[in-house]
Amino acid sequence: MQQMYINGRFTSGQATETIPIINPATEEIIDEVPRGTAADVDTAVAAAKSAFASWKKVPAWERAGMLHTIANKMQAHAEELTRLLTEEEGKPFIENEEEVFWTYDTFNYYAELGRHERGRFLPPGDPDQLNFVIKEPYGVVACIVPWNYPLLLLAWKAAAALAAGNTIVIKPSEYTPLATLRTIELAFAHLPPGVVNVITGYGLEAGEPLVRHPDVPVIAFTGSVATGQRIAAIAAPMMKKLHLELGGKDPLVVAEDVDLTTAVSAVAYSGLLNTGQVCTSSERIYVHERVYGRFSEELAEFVANLRLGNGMHPQTDIGPMLRDHFRVGVEKQLDAALKAGAHLLVGGKRPSYLDKGYFLEPAVLVNVNHEMAIMREETFGPVLPLMPYTDFDEAIRLANDTQFGLGACLLSHDARLVKRFFEEVKAGTIWINDPLTDNFAGPFGGMKMTGGGRELGQEGLDEFYEVKHVHWDVEGKLKDYWFPY
C-alpha cells in the first residue's frame, strides 16, 4: 500500500480505511492508498505552515537548484512514471510520455523564472523618496489536482507555488494518486520537511477540510464547475485567494480554405486525445457548409480506423475512460442527442472485442444543435459533434454561445479570419491550426464560468505572489502639507 507524505515522511496518518486504485483498462485493483481524514489535513497543514517560515527565506537561486533537482530526478525515472500513469489513468503510453516530459520541464522552467525578479522600482513622487513593489509568497497553498493529467496539472501549480516561496499540501484525485506519490518519493526527498505534503482521500473527507483550513490562504484547483463553486462558497467568508480552472466546452471552427485531410487529423486529435477526457478537448466542431458533407464523411472514416486498447500496447490510439460511471454519463448524453434528432455516423458503442476495461468507441455525431446537452454541457469523453455554418459571423456567434471560455481553435490560413477569431472569441487560449499545444511561457486559463486563474508563464508565477508597495521617505523631513493647515 502507498502512503501519504507529511512533514518529510510517508505515513498512513489517522486513516483507518483505504481506497482501491483501479486500472481502467483491465478493471484490476493495482494498489491502495489511505483514506485521509481531516485530522491528516491538520497535520499536513501544520507541517507546511511551520516549514514556510524558513522556506520563504531560502534564496531564489537555491530554490531554483532544488527545483532543477526535482526535474532531473523525474527525468531519470521517466519510464517508470510513464508506466505508472498509464496503469492508473489509462491514456496511451505515448501520451503519458509527453505528460511526464512536460511535468519535469515545468519545474525547470519555474526554477529559472522564480529567480528572475521579485518586484520592481517605481518613479518616486519626490527626490527624497523611494517607491518599490515587493512580491511575497502567501504561505500554504492547497493544490487540488484532477485525475486526467495527474502530474502535469500538479506541476503547473506546485512548481510555480514553490518557486514563489510558498509551501504546499497536495490533494491528488482519489482515482490517480499513485504517480504523484511515487514522484514525491523519487524526486522530492531533498526538500526540507514540510515544504511538500500529500494527502490522499475523497473530496468531502480530505479536500474540503483543506479548503476550509484557516491556515491555507490559497486554493489552486482544477476540476468541475460544481466543485469550483463549492470551493468558492467555502472560501469567500475567509477571503482566500482562489486559483480555479473549471473545465470547458471548447469550439473548433473549420474554415473552407483548409486542406481537409489535415483538418480531419487535427479535429480527431483535438477531440479524442486522452479519450476526450481533456478540459480543452474540442467538444463542438463547426464546419463551413461548403465542405461540411465531405469533411463529415472523411472524419467518420478516420475515426472508425482508430485502435482502442490498453494504453500499454504501442499500437493503441484510444485508451479507456477512467471509470464506468463516466462512460455511462457520455452514453446518456449521446442517447439524449439521438432521441432529439442527431445522427451517429460512427462509434458511440462499447467495443464487443474488449471484454474488460471502460472502453467506448469514439463517436462522430451530426444533425446536432445548441438545444442539445451534448453541445452545451461538458462531455469529457470521445465524442465529436459536427454542425455546419454559413458564414464567419455565424461561426463566431456559435463559438461564443457557451457559459465556458477555456480555449477555442480555428483551422484556417485566411489572415482576416484569424484576426477576427482571436479578437472576437472569448476564451483564454486561442489555437490557430495547432490545437491543444501548450507553451511554458504562455499563460493557460479561462474566462467566464471556466474561472480566471492562470497557469504557466509569468502570469502563472504571479498567481502565487501577493504584492506589497513600499513608500519610503529616506530623509523623513517635516512636510508642509501636514497639520495644521
Three-class SS string for 320-358?
CCCCHHHHHHHHHHHHHHHHCCCEEEECCCCCCCCCCCC
- Stretch(es) of the chain classified as CATH 3.40.605.10: 4-246+451-470
Instruction: Specify the pLDDT at position 452.
Output: 86
Beta bridge partners of 365: 344, 385
**Pair type for strands 140-144 and 167-171:** parallel
Instruction: Specify the pLDDT at position 396.
Output: 98
Nearest to 354 by CA among 380, 381, 321: 321
Show the low-confidence residues of the chain (pLDDT under 50). none
Residue 251 vs residues 266, 348, 399, 449, 470: alpha-carbon distances, Å? 13, 20, 5, 15, 45
- CATH number of 250-432, picked from 3.40.30.10, 3.40.980.10, 3.40.309.10, 3.30.460.80: 3.40.309.10
> Tens of pLDDT along 191-226?
999 999 999 999 999 999 999 999 999 999 999 999
> Tens of pLDDT along 95-130?
999 999 999 999 999 999 999 989 999 999 899 999
- Stretch(es) of the chain classified as CATH 3.40.309.10: 250-432
Instruction: Specify the pLDDT at position 128.
Output: 93
Instruction: Calculate the average pLDDT of the chain.
Output: 97
Instruction: Specify the pLDDT at position 357.
Output: 98
Lookup result for grid cell 531560502: 58
**Pair type for strands 250-254 and 282-288:** parallel
Sign for the pseudo-dihedral over CA of 47, 242, 467, 429: positive
Instruction: Specify the pLDDT at position 226.
Output: 95
Instruction: Specify the pLDDT at position 425.
Output: 98
In whole angstroms, what is the distance from residue 160 CA to residue 104 CA? 13
> Tens of pLDDT along 407-456?
999 999 999 999 999 999 999 999 999 999 999 999 999 999 999 899 99
Q: Which residues are catalytic?
A: 245, 279
- CATH number of 4-246+451-470, picked from 3.40.605.10, 2.60.40.10, 3.40.1080.10, 3.20.20.20: 3.40.605.10
